[in-house]
């Protein structure tokens, strides 16, 4: 790839020096577009600059942090009998009407439209706070934070029937330090119990909970900018939850077009089914695999499909 990139740069220098009336730049543009298409790349604006020395230093420091953390995590996961008390939790945003961005169409179609129930439901979202253990257990209830500027009096009444959900609300639909305290007190501790271990990212909202529950929970924090490589939920769970929820949403919309999936109660229904599904024993090997992918756990789960 480095040699090929050098060739592209050389072609660019040649074409830039070509006469203005030459057709060569047009051919070069086609060449670049084909190159980007073949190698799965696209044009992006440069957001940061760094010298090669600084870049290499950052990469070395990041790899050192990852290696050190993996050693620490393997120490925590050395005893398989404690896997049920070792968990990871993370926040994930979900659109009220979660739809796929790709579909079948005739080759060469310039514009592809999809019918949606409510356009604003594609921009408004809520937050879920799943927690999975190293033994492959999906903790119930699943905390769901709805976006409500001022929650109506019937908020809890509407959602009380969903036994697999713990529903809260905020003006932004995002978690806060107070809501995180509620999650630790009402969801995590009843499942994990005292002397449990919780792997979290470096979000500041955890700090208050760390101080409040440090006698009950041992918090292990992922280094900055490493969750995409180290955090089990990021590596192999959050996308699967969204994919299942999206397929469930699209199936209902096709079969029952009058069923508005973005209403509060219907969102609760779909998320309740999703949480119940992932808590079943069938999904346990997959959740165990989420800990194996970032090489935190050496446990080999059963084959799953």
- What is the greatest pairwise CA distance in the chain? 76
The two tokens of residue 70 are 């993996």
Q: Minimal CA–CA distance to 66: which of 231, 201, 219, 223?
A: 223
Q: Retrieve residue 58's tokens.
A: 């950052």
β-pair partners for 218: 197
Starting at the earlier edge strand, list the strands of the sheet with 196-200. Answer: 131-133, 86-89, 196-200, 217-221
pLDDT of res. 199: 98
Count CB atoms within 10 A of the CB of residue 233. 26
- Report strand pairing: 92-95 vs 125-129: antiparallel
- In sequence order, the β-bridge partners of residue 131 are 89
Question: How far from chain centre, in Å, is Cα 224?
Answer: 16
Q: How far apart are the first and last CA of the chain?
A: 35
Condensed to tens digits (0 to 9), the pLDDT of residues 38-95 reads 766 666 777 777 677 666 667 888 899 999 999 999 999 999 899 999 999 999 999 9
- Could you tell me how many residues make up the chain? 305
pLDDT in 10s for each residue of the chain, 305 residues = 455 555 555 555 545 555 555 455 566 677 777 777 776 666 677 777 767 766 666 788 889 999 999 999 999 999 989 999 999 999 999 999 988 777 888 888 888 888 788 888 888 899 999 999 999 999 999 999 999 988 888 899 999 999 999 999 999 999 999 999 999 999 999 999 999 999 999 999 999 999 999 999 999 999 998 999 999 999 999 999 999 999 999 999 999 999 999 999 999 999 999 999 999 999 999 999 999 998 888 777 777 66
pLDDT of residue 61: 87
Q: What is the pLDDT of residue 27?
A: 66
d(C-alpha 56, C-alpha 277), whole Å: 44
- Residue 204 confidence (pLDDT): 95
With beta carbons less than 8 A apart as the criterion, state whether 291 and 234 touch. Answer: no
State whether the Cα torsion 108-114-120-125 is positive or negative. negative
Assigned token pair, 151: 């929650």
Q: Which positions ≥6 away from 290 have C-beta within 8 Å?
A: 132, 232, 233, 235, 236, 237
Q: Give the helix ranges, DSSP H, for 120-215.
A: 155-159, 177-183, 189-192, 207-212
CA distance 85 to 192: 5
Which pair of tokens denotes residue 249?
A: 């949403």
Q: What per-residue confidence (pLDDT) applies to 32? A: 73
pLDDT score for 21: 53
Q: Starting at the edge strand that comes first in sequence, how are the strands of the sheet with 92-95 ordered?
A: 92-95, 125-129, 142-147, 165-170
CA distance 70 to 292: 11
Tell me the β-bridge partners of 143: 129, 166
């Amino acid at each position: 790839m480095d040699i090929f990139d050098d060739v592209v740069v050389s072609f660019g220098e040649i074409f830039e020096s070509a006469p203005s009336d030459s057709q060569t730049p047009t051919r070069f543009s086609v060449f670049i577009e084909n190159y980007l298409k073949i190698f799965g790349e696209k044009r992006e604006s440069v957001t940061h600059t760094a010298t090669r020395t600084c870049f290499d230093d950052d990469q070395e420091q990041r790899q050192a942090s990852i290696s050190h953390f993996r050693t620490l995590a393997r120490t925590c996961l050395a005893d398989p009998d404690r896997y049920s008390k070792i968990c990871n939790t993370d926040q994930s945003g979900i659109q009220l009407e979660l739809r796929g961005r790709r579909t079948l169409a005739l080759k060469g179609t310039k514009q592809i439209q999809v019918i949606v129930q409510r356009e604003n439901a594609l921009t408004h979202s809520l937050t879920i706070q799943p927690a999975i253990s190293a033994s492959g257990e999906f903790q119930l209830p699943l905390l769901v934070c709805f976006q409500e500027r001022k929650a109506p009096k019937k908020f809890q009444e509407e959602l009380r029937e969903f036994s697999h959900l713990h529903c809260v609300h905020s003006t932004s639909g995002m978690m806060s330090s107070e809501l995180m305290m509620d999650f630790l007190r009402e969801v995590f501790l009843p499942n994990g119990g005292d002397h449990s271990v919780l792997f979290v990212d470096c979000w500041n909202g955890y700090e208050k909970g760390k101080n409040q529950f440090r006698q009950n929970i041992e918090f292990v924090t992922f280094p900055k900018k490493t969750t995409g490589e180290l955090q089990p939920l990021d590596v192999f769970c959050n996308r699967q939850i969204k994919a299942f929820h999206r397929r469930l949403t699209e199936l209902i919309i096709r079969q029952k077009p009058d069923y508005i999936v973005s209403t509060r109660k219907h969102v609760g229904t779909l998320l309740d089914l999703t949480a119940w599904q992932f808590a079943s024993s069938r999904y346990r090997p997959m959740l165990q695999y989420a800990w194996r992918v970032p090489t935190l756990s050496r446990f080999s789960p059963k084959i799953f499909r």
